[in-house]
Structure 1
Amino acid sequence: MWTIHDKMGFSPGHSVKCKNRIEVRDPQDDSLIATVPAVTAEGMEKAVKRGGEGAKIAAEMPVHQRVSVLHRSADLVASRREEFATLISREGSKTIREARKEVDRAVETLRISAEEARRIQGETLSFDQMPGSENRAGGWYRFPIGLVGAITPFNDPLNLVAHKVGPAVASGNAVIVKPASFTPLSALKLWEVMQEAGLPSPVFSVVPGRGGEVGDVLVSHPDVRMVSFTGGVDAGREIARKAGIKKLSMELGSNCPAIVLGDADLPAAVESCVSGAFWAAGQNCLKVQRVYIEDSIYADFLERFVSRTRQYRIGDKLSEETDMGPLIHRREAERVDRWVREALDQGATLCCGGERDGAYYSPTVLTDLPEGSCLEREEVFGPVVGLYPVRSAEEAVKRANRSDFGLQAGVFTKNLDQAFGLIRRLEVGGVMVNDSSDYRIDAMPFGGVKQSGLGREGVRFAIGEMTETKVVCFRLGS
Structure 2
Amino acid sequence: MREYKAFINNEFIDNGEWLEIINPTTLKPAGKVTALKSEDINQAYQAARTAQTTWSALPLLKRIEYVNNFKKELLKNKEELATIMSEEVAKGYKEALGEVERTAEIIDYTIEEVKRLDPLAMTGEGMGATNKIGIFSRVPKGVVCAISPFNYPVNLAIAKIAPALLTGNTVVFKPATAGSLCGAFFAKLALAAAFPKGIFNVVTGRGREIGDLITANPEIDMISFTGSVGVGNQLRKNASTTDLVLELGGKDPALVLDNLQLEKYATEIIAGAFGYSGQRCTAIKRVLVSDAIADQLVPILKAKVEALTVGQPQDNANITPVIDEKSADFIQGLIDDAKKQGAKIICGDKRVKNLMWPTLVDGVSVKMRLAWEEPFGPVLPIIRVNSPAEMIKIANESNFGLQASVFCQDLSTAIVVAKQIQTGTVNINGRSQRGPDCFPFLGIKDSGEGVQGIREALLSMTRYQGIVINY
1:324-370: CA deviation from partner (whole Å, max 9, x where unpaired)? 11011111111111121112112221111112211111111112223
What's the CA shift for 1:144? Answer: 0.2
SS of residue paired to 2:451:
coil
In the alignment, is the contact (CA less than 8 A) between 2:75 and 2:100 conserved in 1?
A: yes
- State the distance in 2 between where 1:57 and 1:91 align: 36
Matched, 1:388 2:383: yes
SS of residue paired to 1:9:
strand
- State the distance in 1 between where 2:355 and 2:430 align: 27
Aligned match for 1:326, one of 312, 317, 321: 321
Matched, 1:437 2:406: no
Distance change (3 Å), C-alpha of 1:151 and 1:261: same
- State the distance in 2 between where 1:425 and 1:70 align: 41
In the alignment, is the contact (CA less than 8 A) between 2:396 and 2:422 conserved in 1?
A: yes
Structure 2 partner of 1:99: 96
Structure 2 partner of 1:281: 277
Aligned match for 2:400, one of 387, 402, 405: 405
Amino acid at match of 2:87: R
Structure 2 partner of 1:212: 208
In the alignment, is the contact (CA less than 8 A) between 1:337 and 1:355 conserved in 2?
A: no
What's the CA shift for 1:101? Answer: 2.3
- State the distance in 2 between where 1:83 and 1:64 align: 29
1:112-261 aligned within 5 A: 112-131=109-128, 133-261=129-257
Relative to structure 2, which stretch is displaced further, 446-455 or 388-397? Answer: 388-397
Amino acid at match of 1:233: V
Aligned match for 2:27, one of 30, 33, 46: 30
Aligned residues: 471
TM-score, normalising length from structure 2?
0.96
Relative to structure 2, which stretch is displaced further, 82-91 or 288-297? Answer: 288-297
Structure 2 partner of 1:48: 45
Structure 2 partner of 1:448: 443
Amino acid at match of 1:473: V
Matched, 1:2 2:2: yes
Amino acid at match of 1:338: G
In the alignment, is the contact (CA less than 8 A) between 1:105 and 1:442 conserved in 2?
A: no
- State the distance in 1 between where 2:228 and 2:465 align: 33
- State the distance in 1 between where 2:434 and 2:163 align: 21
- State the distance in 1 between where 2:466 and 2:210 align: 36
- State the distance in 2 between where 1:415 and 1:370 align: 28
Relative to structure 2, which stretch is displaced further, 365-374 or 332-341? Answer: 365-374
- State the distance in 2 between where 1:27 and 1:11 align: 32
Structure 1 partner of 2:308: 312
Report runs of 4+ in structure 1 exceeding 3 Å deviation: none
Amino acid at match of 1:381: F
Relative to structure 2, which stretch is displaced further, 205-214 or 247-256? Answer: 205-214
In the alignment, is the contact (CA less than 8 A) between 1:138 and 1:472 conserved in 2?
A: yes
Sequence identity, in percent? 30
SS of residue paired to 2:286:
strand
What's the CA shift for 1:76? Answer: 2.7
Structure 2 partner of 1:65: 62
What's the CA shift for 1:264? Answer: 4.2
CA RMSD of superposed structures (Å): 1.6
SS of residue paired to 1:250:
strand
SS of residue paired to 2:113:
helix
What's the CA shift for 1:390? Answer: 3.0
Aligned match for 1:427, one of 422, 431, 437: 422
Structure 2 partner of 1:344: 339
- State the distance in 2 between where 1:16 and 1:236 align: 28
- State the distance in 2 between where 1:226 and 1:264 align: 47
More strand as a share of residues? 2
- State the distance in 1 between where 2:382 and 2:242 align: 41
Aligned match for 2:294, one of 295, 298, 306: 298
Aligned match for 1:416, one of 398, 408, 411: 411
- State the distance in 1 between where 2:196 and 2:439 align: 29
SS of residue paired to 1:157:
coil
- State the distance in 1 between where 2:215 and 2:2 align: 30
Amino acid at match of 1:10: I
- State the distance in 2 between where 1:58 and 1:189 align: 23
SS of residue paired to 1:273:
helix
1:229-273: CA deviation from partner (whole Å, max 9, x where unpaired)? 111111111112222411011011110011122144211111111
What's the CA shift for 1:69? Answer: 2.4
SS of residue paired to 2:82:
helix
In the alignment, is the contact (CA less than 8 A) between 2:121 and 2:136 conserved in 1?
A: yes
- State the distance in 1 between where 2:286 and 2:319 align: 20
Structure 2 partner of 1:371: 366
- State the distance in 1 between where 2:268 and 2:97 align: 20
SS of residue paired to 1:248:
strand
What's the CA shift for 1:218? Answer: 2.1
Structure 2 gap segments, 5+ residues each: none
In the alignment, is the contact (CA less than 8 A) between 1:276 and 1:287 conserved in 2?
A: yes
In the alignment, is the contact (CA less than 8 A) between 1:66 and 1:114 conserved in 2?
A: no
In the alignment, is the contact (CA less than 8 A) between 2:90 and 2:312 conserved in 1?
A: no
